[in-house]
Amino acid sequence: MEAVEPTILYQETNPYGSMTAFLEDDGRTIYLYLQSQEDPESPMKTVWVKNRIPGPISRDSSDLQDGMAPVLCKDEIEQSDFHSMHPENLYFIWLEEGNGLALFYEDELVAFLPPWSGVKGFHGYSKYAKVESITANPLGNTENGVIPERIRKARDFWEFRSQKDSWKEIQKKRLDFLESQLGPHQKYWSADGGKFPTLAIAKFTHPKDSKIVVYATIGMSAQNMPSVELYHRDYEKYSRIEMLFAAKIEDTDQTESWVPHAIGEMIKFPWMMGKWLGEGHSITLSRRDPDSLHCNFTHFFISGKFSNYKSSQFALPMPMNGELISENGQPIQFLHLLPITEEEVFYSKKAGANSFLKAIEPSNLGWVHHSSRQSFL
C-alpha cells in the first residue's frame, strides 16, 4: 500500500514555546514527531505509534530509500486494529523540561517520546510495539513503572503551575531566602517578557561590603532544566538552579545599564534551546561592560566553586550558605556568573574548569567581578 498525503491529526507547542509536537498519519503508519522551534540544528525526534496497515513479514527497504516512515513488521507489533486516531480523543502531557511528551488516546497512555530520543539511534516507546524495533520500543505497563510515574510527576507539575497563586509562592520562597543572606532587595525586574516560565531578577547590596552589588535570578529553579539527565544519572540534583552575579563598584554604579539586560537575555536559554547550564559551563555575554578597561568580556563563566573574595579588610565567601529546597523536593543550586574573555573561555575548555578556577585564585577576586581587572592568564 502506498502512502497517502500525510495528515496531521494533532499538533501542539510546549508551554515554553520552544518545541512543537505533531502526530502524523500517512495512511500506512502513525508517527509522533518533535521539532525545535528555536534551534535549527536540532534534529527532529520521532517515534512510531502504530501501523495503519497489517505488518508485513519483512521490511521493504525501498520505504527507507524513499524517505517514507517505516512500517513495523508483523512480529514487531502488538496490534489488532489499524484504524486512525480521532483528533478529539487525543492529547499530550509535556514533561516539565519541555523536551519530551506523552501521547494519550481516549485517556490511555499510547506513546512516550522521551528526552533521550535521538541518542544512539533510540526513538521512543509505543503501546503497540511488541519488541525493540527500528523506530519504537515496547512501552510496557501503562499504569505503573518508571515512565507512568514520570508522566504523573509532569501532570502534577503543570497542575501546580496552573494554580492562580503558584508564582507568588515560588517568588516568595526564593526572595525570602535571598534576603536572609543578602538583606532587603533594592530593585526588582520582571525578566520573562510576559511568557512562560515566569522569571525575575533582583538586585542587592552585599551586607558586609556596600561596594559589592549582587544580582540574583528568581524563578529559574521553579522548573527542571532540559537535557541534564543525558549527563547525570541523578539529574534532579542538578536540574534546578538560580544564577548570581556580583560586581565591585569603583566610583559610580553603572551595572544597571548592562547586567539586568545581560542576565535577562540568557535566563530563558535552557528552555528555549533545550540545553542545560551547570558547573564549568560558559555562555555568551550579550552586553558590554561599560567600565571594562583591560579586558573584552565576551562570556559568563558559570560556577559554584569560586574561591573567597579577599579585600584588605576581610575575605567574603560566596553568598547562599544553607540549602533551599524547591517545590519538587530537590536542592536548588546557586551558581555564580563571572565575565571572562575569549582567551579565558578557550583556556577553561582546553585545560578544564577546575584548572581555570585555580588560575583565578591568585587575583583574590573569587566570585566578584572587577571591571578593571586584567587577564587571569
347 and 278 together in one domain? yes
Amino acid symbol at 270 = P
Would you say residue 122 lies in a domain?
Answer: yes
| Placement of cell 512543537 in the chain | 20
- Over pLDDT 70: what percentage of the chain? 98
DSSP calls for 344-363: HHHHHHHH-HHHHHHHHGGG
129 and 187 together in one domain? no
Helix (H, G, I), strand (E, B) or coil at 264: helix
Total length of the chain: 377
Tell me how far apart the alpha carbons of residues 35 and 38 are, in angstroms, rounded to a whole number: 9
147 and 262 together in one domain? no
pTM: 0.93
Would you say residue 2 lies in a domain?
Answer: no
Q: Mean pLDDT over all residues of the chain?
A: 94
153 and 287 together in one domain? no
Would you say residue 377 lies in a domain?
Answer: no
- pLDDT tens for 59-68 read 877 666 667 8
Number of domains present in the structure of the chain: 2
91 and 179 together in one domain? no
149 and 177 together in one domain? no
- pLDDT tens for 84-125 read 999 999 999 999 999 999 999 999 999 999 999 999 999 999
Q: Is residue 293 predicted with pLDDT exceeding 90?
A: no
Q: Which domain holds residue 230?
A: 163-369
